[in-house]
Amino acid sequence: MKKAIYDFDMIKEGETVLLWVSWWKDSMALWYLLNEFRKSSKAKFEIRWVYIFKEFLIDCDIQFEEKRKYYEEELWIPLEKVNISLPEWSKLNQWVWQSCQRCAYARRIAMMKLCQKYWATKICFGHHLDDIVVTTFMNMIEGRKLKIMPPVNKMSKWDVTFIRPLAYIREKDLLKFVQAKEIPYSWCSCPVWDNTMRNKIKKEIIWPNEKILPKYTENIFWSLIKDFREKYEDCGYSM
């Protein structure tokens, strides 16, 4: 994680980072790791840990008090629970339950508004190496475009940068980590999860090819990263 942060200059002195958390293993691992990184980092920065209770999305408020207690009492990490709803006129209210893309977009809009409240300049996501490869496949198959989920992305319309400190880490290693540290986490509660394109790509493309080519996912990832840096490094990773 440190290497990814340093490679892409993700966090700078004096910044406020907004970390939206779910109860998945990726998010819970990021909580723990980023807090440890902050303790040892020469650059002093602030983290706002926020759980968004999404009235407009599927409720993932699973064992909230158990996990809040773990982070606030054992790790001394304050957690703020924010209730956010979309305006009635918002188009995102339509089909948001059936679309992963709309669900994610609605969540990001809510987070950007929180950035204005806290004067945060960075939004930190728990996406890992596997997420980046799978999302690139989704963009090609569904969107008919070659577009990576970047480790860092400066938004052109907002004074906010998305960062993904877990970009170099495999999903299987994150799972081993949270289990070894006995960090409480929950599995996805989305009722359409099994039928999503994301899951189909993992089960029918990624996993079968990894059995034949053990470095399949890593090699795709590093080729994407090389191309991304060559194209966007000079402009500060603004896409």
**pLDDT, tens digit only, all 239 positions of the chain:** 999 999 999 999 999 999 877 778 898 899 899 999 999 999 999 998 887 765 555 555 566 777 778 778 877 877 777 766 656 656 555 554 455 666 667 677 778 878 888 889 999 999 999 999 999 999 999 889 988 999 999 887 778 999 999 999 999 999 999 999 998 887 766 656 666 788 899 999 999 999 999 999 999 999 999 999 999 888 888 87
| 62, 92, 217 from 183: Cα distances, Å | 14, 33, 26
Burial environment of residue 21 by CB neighbours within 10 A (0 to 12, 13 to 18, 19 or more): buried
pLDDT at 107: 72
pLDDT at 224: 96
Q: 154 in helix, strand or coil?
A: strand
- In order, the DSSP letters of 22-45 are -SSHHHHHHHHHHHHHHHH-SS--
Calpha distance 171→187 (Å, rounded): 13
Report the CATH number that the domain containing residue 167 is assigned in CATH: 3.40.50.620
Its pTM surpasses 0.85: yes
Give Cβ neighbours of residue 147 (< 8 Å, ≥ 6 apart). 136, 139
pLDDT at 192: 60
Q: Pick from 27, 32, 84: which is nearest to 56 by CA?
A: 84
The count of domains in the chain is 1
Calpha distance 168→218 (Å, rounded): 9
Domain of 123? 2-235
Calpha distance 193→72 (Å, rounded): 30
pLDDT at 218: 97
pLDDT at 33: 93
